[in-house]
Amino acid sequence: MQTNSESTKEHVNQSVDLTQPSDASGDIRADRSFDAITDHFEKKVYGGLKGDIRLAVLRRDIFEYSAQMSESLGRPLRILDVGAGLAQIAIELAAQGHKLVINDISANMLEKAKASAAQIDEDLNITWYVCPYQELPEKLGTENSEKFDLIMCHALLEWLAEPAAVMDFFDQQLTDKGALSLCFYNPASFDYRNLIMGNFNLLDNTEYKADNKKSLTPNHPVAKEEVESWLTAHHYQIIRTSGLRVFHDYAPLKRGGHNDPDAVIRMELRYSQLEPYKWLGRYLHILATR
């Protein structure tokens, strides 16, 4: 999750630039900051079963593929986690012996991530960059010209002012046969959940926006079809798709297996790659190669 560092807070809080993208209502958009609510983010996203499901699906998808790629190349991978937030998956990949570059524009997020990494091993091969992803090429270019075998971008697209622009960054930083891991909020899940909950007034309100002072529901999510069109335009081939939380969030009445967290994760993993269930996930994960 990309959040905001002290330097970027100054940039974002400057007077409004009318050249920046705006939505249909004319509101100026900017890359979303969570720096001020890091503790709330950690508790809300990873403080319960929702976070456990999210990590379980990502671990399965990414660890399986990274192990295969590493074996094929005969060496540890060079991996970038852009907008990493708490960087759980990245830290675990570093613990597996891979070389990680971890980035976020939130100093608070990366401080928590560094503390987590230190608890595992203080000598993990991790380089940390607190900056907007747009500044990474300059920082990386001055220290190392190597490109990345795997780039992870999780829960970032929906918070960027210009999400499609990040594809050019991926093109520049990924090796010719590298892989891209994109995890993003699924706007179809918002509609479906509110249909189930009977929130028809909300769905009829075309001007509805979440209160983004603390809400983690994005007001500008990108649909699966849009992301797929970007990948096609940039000559990527999708090799795996998964849904994260394909049923957990839709069960207001917990009964039977819903009361067993291990059983919930097991079933979420089972149905996360099956159609049509995976397309109901609150988040979608796409693995694609050049």
Q: Which two tokens mark 210?
A: 């979440």
- The Cα-based distances of 49 to 12, 17, 53, 54, 87 in angstroms read 33, 40, 6, 9, 18
3-state secondary structure of 237: strand
Strands 283-289 and 174-185: antiparallel
pLDDT at residue 145, rounded to an integer:
65
pLDDT-derived band at 47, boundaries 50, 70, 90: low
Tens digits of residue pLDDT in 247-279: 999 998 888 999 999 999 999 999 999 999 999
| Higher per-residue pLDDT: 78 or 214 | 78
DSSP state of 22: B
Query: Does 2.130.10.10 match the CATH number of domain 37-289?
Result: no
104 is in an annotated binding site: yes
pLDDT at residue 214, rounded to an integer:
61
H-type alpha helices, the chain: 6-12, 38-46, 49-73, 88-95, 107-120, 136-143, 166-173, 187-197, 200-204, 224-233, 261-271
pLDDT-derived band at 211, boundaries 50, 70, 90: low
At residue 18, φ and ψ (nearest 5 deg) are -70, -5
Write down the mean pLDDT value for the chain. Answer: 85
Tens digits of residue pLDDT in 56-67: 999 999 999 999
54 is in an annotated binding site: yes
Q: What is the pTM of this model?
A: 0.84
258 is in an annotated binding site: no
233 Cβ contact list (under 8 Å, min separation 6): 167
| Higher per-residue pLDDT: 1 or 99 | 99
d(CA 22, CA 4): 20
pLDDT at residue 191, rounded to an integer:
93
249 is in an annotated binding site: no
- The Cα-based distances of 58 to 99, 175, 234 in angstroms read 19, 22, 23
48 is in an annotated binding site: no
Tens digits of residue pLDDT in 103-135: 999 999 899 999 999 999 889 999 999 999 999
